[in-house]
Structure 1
Amino acid sequence: MEDLQSETESVLCSIFAEVLERDSVSVDDDFFQTGGHSLLATDLLHKVRAAFKEPRYRKLPFSQIYRTPTAAELARWLEGAVRETAPTPDWSGGGPVPLNSQQTDMLVRHVFDPDAPGQHCTLGWRVEGALDLDALRGAVRHVHQRHESLCASYRLEEQAVAEPLNVPAPGVTALEAGTPDEASAVLHAALAEPFRLEEGVIWRVVTVAVGGHTSHLIGIAAHHIAVDGWSESILAKDLGRAYHAVLTNALVLDAPAPTMARIAAASIAPVDAAELEAQRAHWRTELAGVPALEYPAAPAGAAPCAPEVLEIPLPVGCLDRVERRAEELGVTPYVALLTAYGRALAEVTGQRDFGVGTPVALRGDSALDGAVACLIDVVCMRLRLTAGASFAEEAGRVAGTVRRAFAAQDVPLAEVVQEVNPPRDRRPPLFQNMFALQNTAAAELDLTGARSEFFRPAPFGLPSELVAEIWPFRAEGPYLVVSHRPDRVPADCARLLGRRLLDELDLLAVRDQPDPS
């Protein structure tokens, strides 16, 4: 290993090695080319902030890891002149707190169509064994009181704000059905009931007894403005622990959950004005003239309808082989999967230049790890693929695109759209499809005296016309899920995309192949 140049570099190398689970890391090793990815980068961020808390060091934003991914570069940045950033407001005295950009968009949509279920996030479990409804009601009350996001008023004032309310817990709606299919339909209808965000009606819990009292479906619906994918496992864990405590007359010994004021303050990235302007300039250049994605045989003038979902189990060991191949190529697993998705989508649509939306977590502060809240934004990756290029060549270019995009993620998507100012029509601007590696913890609901199995109820809406997701941590194994709006994306197109993506992953796991076209 190279001689370390400073104490800062030495500490950073130790942190890099710890996070990457390596014996040692040199000052010039690129975090993302030595096994790092976005989740590990979050861990790295927390550890670096904890180690360099003194005022002489600059406070590290998540995006900076992508701009300075080696210990040497990061040390120079941390030791650089401390630049003035906007002061973090103090909302600890109570009152409303501002919503982030995505939440603001969700609230506006809700105000214009308050009865639409398209922004409901849903979770489900199949439960076998005794289910104590009184204990479940008690657990729901505990979770409701624990997380302010679930009992708050979301409203439009001079800006979009949320304010905790003293509103009662939603209770548990207990229903019955004769067959599993009937139970699924009953649950789906109950979860679709509208919310009233201004009044603090944010979430609900529904049970459906299936043909008796030892088999149940449990469903949770919550408005997306209050929860995100990261929140799901927290919600399930808290509900299971509280259920056990109520059932056994024990105390729930949870650490306090962060308040909405703490969440709002912790989610502000410490980025100075000059850096933000550089990020805006990146987006204006990168996304200028990005073409809209056109699907083959897309129906013209079709009325909006419920999404359709295609679930495809991935072959045993597929993602392990993809991870090994990604390491060989010096890219992250996400980059390898996004490259495979882009190549598959290019083959299906015939386009090689298009935007792909990907969700990003706004959880750069460790205080947010246990927060049930909507802390996400979306970044647009512009893929420019080349006919005849090998996977390795494409992955290298996609890696650069991803690195630059994540380095500029402090500009919210809504502001990016304003900066780029693309032509507007009824379709989403910049990108009409999304890809996500859903590698957050599984939503495991541990109910004392019963067995539970997670399932995802059918969605009521989608954030884009086409959404492809890789779910690595399902109990039954990893899955590819392709969801689409049939009024924009024909079912044959979605199925073909799924098959082509599986083909790309299979080729990727075996050897580098030229573009089949």
Structure 2
Amino acid sequence: MSDDAPVRVQRASALERQFWVGEQIAPATRANRALARIRVDGPVAYGALGAALSAVAARHEALRTAFVVERGELVRKVLPPRDIPPLLHLPARTGSHAATAALLADDFLDLGAGRLFRAAVAPDDTGATLYLAVHHIAFDGMSQEIFAADLARAYDLALTGEDPVLPVRERAEPATLAPAQRAELATHWRTMLDEAADLPLPGSADGPGPSQRELAQAELTEDSRELPAGTWQAVRTRARLSGCSPYAVLLAAFGRALADLTGGAGFCVGTPVAARTPGQSDEIGYLTNTLPVRMPELSGPQVVERVWGALRESVIGSALPCDEIIRAARTTPGRRMPVYQALFAFENWERAEHTAGPVQIRALPVPPVGGHAEIQLQVTELPAGTLHCVAQAPLSSPWQGRSAALLHAFDDQLGLLCADAATRSPGRENTV
């Protein structure tokens, strides 16, 4: 398609407006960037890999969309397929942190120009790792899995000498809430979050805590911990006995760990939930909403059931975008991040392996590269059944140096919750 092809103009979604506003407040902040990591095992043909990348960008309109203001409204302009930036070749065995620094070094990403991603590859003894820096406005966690699947399809075509053209995946029009529905949802959130508390700063930290701008611009420190397969099995058993999702067990343990380290109660935890419709299962884009979950009483029996109930109440209101939830239910004015100051994410979807000629292609989990809260925990189920936990905190924040303690407390609380399940009588298994 030539550059003279018509440009399709659509209104931006509420979630896209959030990221656009964030970019205006703190340009080039890492909080608005995502990193994808895709593993290619086998002999890599780099020419075919570059052609496959171009094919995926041509297929997904989200990767070639410009965001501009016209007549006072933010719109997205879907651009015709065009040449993508050359694939950067990194030194052998370059890791995620160095790859992120290289991809974001010159502030290449530009919403107004539709430059939304850039790719680099690092070879090693058994293949290569492809790194993709993408603006979050066009990419969520599930997008990485879709990208890997389409990359394999295009790479397989390129290896045979065919032009690796994939069918275009048009972007869905953003959904619109009726005024009455929006008002009803805002009331739901105001009621549910009335008098919710801010999360106290850990330890003896004084002061107001970091501002939203400081969070967005900060570098992150992180600690990681891998919990054995037995822990994940125990979590699932606890969930089954409580008649809920394993997510609720993990979230309850995180809430209790935060309370243990801060002495807080009645605070909220932000958690991303999928906002994809059934027709968007193969669409790349930011199709996720972050919901505050107000932590209930976290001590005593039935805590998992109480957290499950709180999570369900949040999901009931999930059609309202996060920025509107905050406007409707902001707890206290101030410079700190409103409504929630801690973030919890859990990834346990299937990570498929795709055969493309002589190579195997699969997406690998990666933690955020920017600060979305004062403290954030990502838990990922790995193929071996273990749980990979990464805790991140901004540099020069009260949580700096405490992420390892958070991981330890989280592990301890999981142990306590799952030990409690072993003493539950069968007659109370589904009590909520």
TM-score normalised per structure 1: 0.72
The answer for the alignment partner of 2:104 in structure 1 is 192
Q: Secondary structure at the match of 1:199?
A: coil
CA distance 1:191–1:136, change in 2 (3 Å): same
Query: Are 1:311 and 2:311 matched, yes or no?
Result: no
Query: 1:138 touches 1:246 (CA, 8 Å); kept in 2?
Result: yes
SS in 2 for 1:222: strand
The higher radius of gyration belongs to 1
Secondary structure at the aligned position of 2:295 is classed as: strand
The equivalent of 1:378 in structure 2 is 290
Question: Whole-Å Cα distance in 2 between the matches of residues 204 and 452 of structure 1?
Answer: 19
Q: CA deviation at 1:287?
A: 1.3
Higher strand share: 2
Deviation of 1:176 (Å): 4.2
Q: Which residue of 2 aligns with 1:159?
A: 73
The alpha-carbon deviation at position 369 of structure 1 amounts to 0.7
CA distance 1:191–1:422, change in 2 (3 Å):
same
* Cα pair 1:258 1:368 within 8 Å, conserved: no
* 2:309 matches 1:400: yes
- CA drift at 1:98: 2.0
Q: CA deviation at 1:151?
A: 0.7
Unaligned runs of 5+ in 2: 1-5, 424-432
CA distance in 2 between partners of 1:488 and 1:509 (Å): 32
What corresponds to 1:174 in structure 2? Answer: 88
Contact kept? 1:468, 1:480, Cα under 8 Å: yes
| Separation of aligned partners in 2, 1:299 and 1:123 | 37
Instruction: Give the Cα separation in 1 of the matches to 2:82 and 2:56.
Output: 12
**Match of residue 38 from structure 1:** none
Counterpart amino acid of residue 52 in structure 2:
A
> In the alignment, which of 334, 340, 346 is matched to residue 437 of structure 1?
346
Are the counterparts in 2 of residues 125 and 217 from structure 1 also a CA contact under 8 Å? Answer: yes
199, 203, 214: which is aligned to 1:293?
199
SS at match of 1:511: helix
Give 1:248's match in structure 2, choosing from 160, 178, 188. Answer: 160
Asked whether the 8 Å contact 1:204–1:222 carries over to 2, the reply is yes
Give the match for residue 169 of structure 2.
258
Q: Distance in 2 between matches of 1:449 and 1:257?
A: 26
Query: CA, structure 1 residues 111+250, in 2 after alignment: closer, same or farther (shift >3 Å)?
Result: same
Please say if residues 436 and 470 of structure 1, whose CA atoms lie closer than 8 Å, have aligned partners that are also in contact.
yes
Identity within the alignment, %: 26
Q: Distance in 2 between matches of 1:102 and 1:481?
A: 25
Give the deviation of 1:493 after TM superposition: 2.5
Amino acid of the structure 1 residue aligned with 2:296: R
CA distance in 1, matches of 2:319, 2:40: 42
Question: CA contact under 8 A between 1:97 and 1:264: conserved in structure 2?
Answer: yes
CA distance in 2 between partners of 1:327 and 1:160 (Å): 45
1:227 aligned partner, one-letter code: F
Aligned to 2:427: none
Contact 1:135–1:243, Cα closer than 8 Å, also in 2 = yes
Is 1:202 the counterpart of 2:116? The answer is yes
Which structure exhibits the higher relative contact order, with contacts defined as CA atoms closer than 8 Å and separated by 6 or more residues? 2
Distance change in 2, residues 1:141/1:94 (3 Å): closer
The superposition leaves residues 93-132 of structure 1 with CA deviations (integer Å, 9 ceiling, x where unpaired) of 9732222222111112223443333311112245554221
1:342 to partner: Cα distance: 1.1
| Cross-structure match for 1:111 | 24
Residues 97, 489 of structure 1: alpha-carbon distance in 2 compared, 3 angstrom cutoff: farther
In the alignment, which residue of structure 2 is the partner of 1:24?
A: none
User: How does 1:80-99 map onto structure 2 within 5 Å?
Assistant: 95-99=8-12
Q: Report the 3-state secondary structure (helix = DSSP H, G, I; strand = E; otherwise coil) of the residue aligned with 1:481.
A: strand
Quickly say closer, same or farther: Cα 1:491–1:110, change in 2 above 3 A: closer
Of 399, 410, 413, 1:501 maps to: 410
Equivalent residues in 2 for 1:66-77, closer than 5 Å: none
C-alpha distance 156-113 of structure 1, shift in aligned 2 (>3 A):
farther
Runs of 4+ with >6 A deviation? none
- Alpha-carbon distance in structure 2 between the residues aligned to 1:453 and 1:129: 12
SS at match of 1:356: strand
Shift of 1:274: 4.4
Distance in structure 2 (CA, Å) of the matches to 1:107 and 1:177: 33
State the SS of the aligned residue for 2:225.
strand
Whole-angstrom CA distance in 1 between matches of 2:33 and 2:421 = 41
Give yes or no for contact 2:351–2:362 (8 Å, CA) kept in 1: no
Secondary structure at the counterpart of residue 229 of structure 2? coil
Aligned pairs, number: 408
* CA distance, structure 2, for counterparts of residue 386 and residue 128 of structure 1: 45
